[in-house]
Amino acid sequence: MKKKLISVLLTLAVAGTMLAGCGSSKADDTKSEADSSTEKKDITIGVRADMVNQYAAVEDKLKELGYNVQSKVFDDSVQPDVALAEGSIDCNWYQHEPYLKSYNEKNGTNLVMVEPKTFYPLFAMYSDKWNSVDELPDGATIGLCNDATNQARGLHLLESQGLITLDDSVESPTMYDVKENPHNFKFIEAEMSVLPQSIKDVDAICLAAGHMVNAGLSADGYLCQSDDNDTYAVGFAVRAEDKDAQWIKDIAEAVQCDELAEYFKTEKQGTQIPCWE
């Protein structure tokens, strides 16, 4: 009986040791995963082609952080999010929250914006034919962005000027959600980066003013501008698991610098407003 009791106790002791070892291993694995997130050193930032100079303005600041940072350039506004979701880049830096929300909903992804944001993009209406909103004729053709969020922003700008009425039951309206169009405006759509090229072919275009500068056109002389800048602040996006990682916090804070503010003021003609000023 005594031998059986000793045998049972030894078995329990060995089992307890094995369980403790398993628990320790899991804890170590969890700690290792957390450490790998915070100690990340090689970082690839996705930027759109028209924002290469913006990245160049802060490149030295990013190197000072001690990370091995490099950029990857994309030609449109979709591929940076595709690459981020697939894991070929670590973050991207070109979009605002409403655009990212729309992308997530359409593609079933879980990408998130991080704080602090970087800048507010001025959004305005431009014309090569008319000098004021009041001069827009009946039947005028208006160019809008072809992505959901910026098209909605353009339509809201038109509505704020009393030119159209939108279906207020639609959160992000498109040109097909115009409820009242008393001036019989016609609408065309194009990718925002190429929309400035159509300014001579239409009566007006609605877009982020920085794209006028990118196209070598003046950002001054807009017919009207949007007053919803806070909603459309541009910043860094990451996969959900990285939203609290130290490396992205460091990067988002580092770009809020004098060098970038000067770039916005000079090269972007004030069309991008620093969030920290």
- Check whether residue 132 and residue 217 sit in a common domain: yes
Mean pLDDT of the chain: 89
Q: What pLDDT sits at residue 135? A: 98
Question: Does position 49 have pLDDT exceeding 90, yes or no?
Answer: yes
In the chain, the number of structural domains is 2
- Check whether residue 129 and residue 220 sit in a common domain: yes
Residue that wins the pLDDT comparison between 73 and 4: 73
- Check whether residue 51 and residue 135 sit in a common domain: no
- Residue by residue, DSSP assigns the chain as -HHHHHHHHHHHHHHHHHHHHHHHHHHHHHHHHHHHHHT--EEEEEEEGGGHHHHHHHHHHHHTTTSEEEEEEESSSSHHHHHHHHTSSSEEEEEEHHHHHHHHHHHT--EEE-SSP-EEEPEEEE-SS-SSGGGPPTT-EEEEESSHHHHHHHHHHHHHTTS-EE-TT-SS--GGGEEE-TT--EEEEE-TTTGGGGTTTSSEEEEETHHHHHTT--S---SEE-S-GGGG-EEEEEEGGGTT-HHHHHHHHHTSSHHHHHHHHHTTTT-EEETT-
Q: What is the mean pLDDT of residues 75-85?
A: 97
Q: pTM score, two decimals?
A: 0.78
Q: What pLDDT sits at residue 229? A: 87
- Check whether residue 135 and residue 105 sit in a common domain: no
Q: What is the mean pLDDT of residues 244-254?
A: 98
Is residue 257 included in any domain, yes or no?
A: yes
CATH number, domain with residue 144: 3.40.190.10
Q: What pLDDT sits at residue 257? A: 98
